[in-house]
Chain A
């Protein structure tokens, strides 16, 4: 299996001219296709910053991020937006669905941005929501769904664009244990059956237990990298 993500000497320093904070400090990380990787570490260790850099949501102070060999740190903001649309799926801690759209419309929205035909959008959104166990919630708005259900819609949305990998920032942080278990099962199944690459930051031991690779960060540096 080929490398899907490579970071070389990746650094992100906040306030470089006053009181520098090295959120990510010379990180070298290689993620292969089909991995189910957890980024762990205490608060402030740089997990979210590293995910943002890998996902092209932020620019590094130094170093490179290559997605399938393409250096995304040199891309303009507009090119990055387009790159994210075509290659990366995101699942956020606070679900971040569009509140005025239904579950189905939320999933369709990413495909709309990709200019997918209406019929195909509707079909795929329905399939994905069925896959994450929300067959009877297609026309519900986020406010009518539980936290776990909203996060499953977010996973379906992340999958909708047929990304190369999915980045999930503390996806279970706001979920109860049952919802966490359900979500993990869905993500593990997608990883196993569709070979979808997942990288998630987490504090949650249940998530860490499910991961097949655990990368531990402390003060912006990788201090341990364990494959199960």
Chain B
């Protein structure tokens, strides 16, 4: 009957209760929407990094990561690629030559990372071919073709089909240079990437570097990205002399960001609930003070203090928890719709692209968040009830009964 009394008491002041329930629902929606928004943004960023740069797994000469020396190539790279292509978990493999150097136009120069790629293989491993907005992705068949980012083109003051010069260190340690013609200009989500990366054919770069058939990097894309760690563990055993790294190991800051996002979001929801707590305390305090005579009567006829306390806690929990399903439902409907159509943030595209974020964010709602968020809300309700309940327990029956 205590549940019945508590539930009916909530509806004695319908408007006041509905305001609290709405506040809880909107607060939860705000918190969960933020979680979904940032989770979506980070997932997209991770996907983007995996697609444009990292792939799921990379192979390097262990010494290459220290200074990116031209000489630190993978031995027997071709054989390894052939074996990887036969691995049932592997979707695509691509060999890369990587060096750093200067890119010079007639007016200026800039530091860049030069990737020598096999265009057909790279298509299956990265999304650069899809990001080309001018010209073409190595389709002319001409030698010494280069694809550069839109931002870099702007910085260098060059256009499609213009010539540029790449200067870098060859395998022999000599400074060497090559003239390339711009065959394509790409624009990815990440403007820093567009400014720093240039792509040439593997063979063209190999000739100038003097690396012949050697390679610096083997990029691997798996059929199922969720198996990255398991597959990488197998490959590490298989190739103990090579450095085999997952995207998480290659970009630990991204993995860390993804990992701490949940914790950050729970903190944000905690702050929202803390603010809500004062509203709930206020409502419960008003309800208790308004019913002083009733509490006096209840204690007079024999309702003991633990029961009075429990009744107030129940009222607070029921009042607060009534907002949980409303908040979750509203979040599911809203985020469900936005997950399909995306949130258009093109007004902030310049700022977003600097951090590699897309103009469209597709929020991702984790259903696993519903239970902890609901428990946090219920806990808030219990905490909110303590002060009003203590207040009620301090009433003296003889005095409280006389209250008007």
Interface set of A (CB-CB < 8 Å, partner B):
48, 52, 55, 57-58, 77-78, 81-82, 84-86, 90, 92, 94, 96, 98-101, 105, 108-110, 112-114, 157, 161
Q: What would 12 more interface pairs be, CB under 8 Å, given A57-B300, A57-B401, A58-B397?
A: A57-B397, A57-B398, A81-B305, A84-B302, A86-B302, A90-B300, A92-B297, A98-B297, A101-B5, A113-B303, A113-B304, A157-B301
Considering the chains assembled together, what is the distance between the CA atoms of A39 and B146 in angstroms? Answer: 108
With CB as the reference atom, state the residue of chain A lying closest to B399. A58
CB distance from B332 to the nearest CB of A (A): 33
Considering the chains assembled together, what is the distance between the CA atoms of A84 and B294 in angstroms? Answer: 16
CB distance from B306 to the nearest CB of A (A): 9
The answer to whether B302 touches A110 (Cβ under 8 A) is yes
With CB as the reference atom, state the residue of chain A lying closest to B305. A78
The answer to whether B12 touches A99 (Cβ under 8 A) is yes
Q: Please, what's the 1-or-0 string for B293-318, where 1 marks a CB less than 8 Å from any CB in chain A?
A: 11001111111110100000000000
A110: which B residues are within 8 A, CB to CB? 301-302
The answer to whether A109 touches B398 (Cβ under 8 A) is no
B8 at interface (Cβ–Cβ under 8 A)?
A: yes
Known contacts being A90-B300, A108-B1, A112-B1, is A96 close to B305, with CB within 8 Å?
A: no
The answer to whether B299 touches A81 (Cβ under 8 A) is yes
CB distance from A107 to the nearest CB of B (A): 11
With CB as the reference atom, state the residue of chain A lying closest to B8. A100
Considering the chains assembled together, what is the distance between the CA atoms of A63 and B397 in angstroms? Answer: 20
CB distance from A222 to the nearest CB of B (A): 20
Considering the chains assembled together, what is the distance between the CA atoms of A85 and B297 in angstroms? Answer: 12
Considering the chains assembled together, what is the distance between the CA atoms of A98 and B302 in angstroms? Answer: 14
Cβ contacts A to B, 21 pairs, < 8 Å? A48-B402, A57-B398, A58-B397, A81-B303, A81-B305, A82-B302, A82-B304, A85-B301, A85-B302, A86-B302, A90-B301, A92-B300, A96-B401, A98-B294, A98-B298, A100-B8, A100-B9, A101-B1, A101-B8, A110-B301, A113-B307
Considering the chains assembled together, what is the distance between the CA atoms of A96 and B292 in angstroms? Answer: 11
The answer to whether B301 touches A113 (Cβ under 8 A) is yes
CB distance from B293 to the nearest CB of A (A): 7
Interface set of B (CB-CB < 8 Å, partner A):
1, 4-5, 8-9, 12, 293-294, 297-305, 307, 396-398, 401-402
CB distance from A122 to the nearest CB of B (A): 12
The answer to whether B302 touches A81 (Cβ under 8 A) is yes
Considering the chains assembled together, what is the distance between the CA atoms of A55 and B300 in angstroms? Answer: 9
A58: which B residues are within 8 A, CB to CB? 396-398
With CB as the reference atom, state the residue of chain A lying closest to B393. A77
CB distance from B308 to the nearest CB of A (A): 10
A108: which B residues are within 8 A, CB to CB? 1
B301: which A residues are within 8 A, CB to CB? 84-85, 90, 109-110, 113, 157, 161
A99, A157, A161: residue with the most chain B Cβ atoms closer than 10 Å:
A99
Considering the chains assembled together, what is the distance between the CA atoms of A213 and B348 in angstroms? Answer: 88
A98: which B residues are within 8 A, CB to CB? 5, 294, 297-298
B9: which A residues are within 8 A, CB to CB? 100
Per CB-CB distance, the 9 closest pairs between chain A and chain B, nearest first, are: A85-B302, A100-B8, A58-B398, A96-B297, A57-B398, A52-B398, A57-B397, A81-B304, A113-B302
A114: which B residues are within 8 A, CB to CB? 302
With CB as the reference atom, state the residue of chain A lying closest to B11. A100
A55: which B residues are within 8 A, CB to CB? 300
Considering the chains assembled together, what is the distance between the CA atoms of A48 and B297 in angstroms? Answer: 15
The answer to whether B293 touches A96 (Cβ under 8 A) is yes
Known contacts being A52-B398, A98-B294, A99-B12, is A161 close to B5, with CB within 8 Å?
A: no
B396: which A residues are within 8 A, CB to CB? 57-58
B8: which A residues are within 8 A, CB to CB? 100-101
A85: which B residues are within 8 A, CB to CB? 301-302, 304
Considering the chains assembled together, what is the distance between the CA atoms of A99 and B287 in angstroms? Answer: 14
Considering the chains assembled together, what is the distance between the CA atoms of A160 and B302 in angstroms? Answer: 12
A112: which B residues are within 8 A, CB to CB? 1
A82, A92, A108: residue with the most chain B Cβ atoms closer than 10 Å:
A92
Considering the chains assembled together, what is the distance between the CA atoms of A103 and B402 in angstroms? Answer: 22
Considering the chains assembled together, what is the distance between the CA atoms of A186 and B122 in angstroms? Answer: 97
A84, A114, A157: residue with the most chain B Cβ atoms closer than 10 Å:
A84
Considering the chains assembled together, what is the distance between the CA atoms of A78 and B309 in angstroms? Answer: 13
CB distance from B395 to the nearest CB of A (A): 11
Considering the chains assembled together, what is the distance between the CA atoms of A86 and B305 in angstroms? Answer: 16
CB distance from B34 to the nearest CB of A (A): 38
A78: which B residues are within 8 A, CB to CB? 304-305
CB distance from A29 to the nearest CB of B (A): 18
Considering the chains assembled together, what is the distance between the CA atoms of A210 and B106 in angstroms? Answer: 119
With CB as the reference atom, state the residue of chain B lying closest to A52. B398
B304: which A residues are within 8 A, CB to CB? 78, 81-82, 85, 113
With CB as the reference atom, state the residue of chain A lying closest to B298. A98
A84: which B residues are within 8 A, CB to CB? 300-302
With CB as the reference atom, state the residue of chain B lying closest to A79. B304
A57, A77, A82, A99: residue with the most chain B Cβ atoms closer than 10 Å:
A57
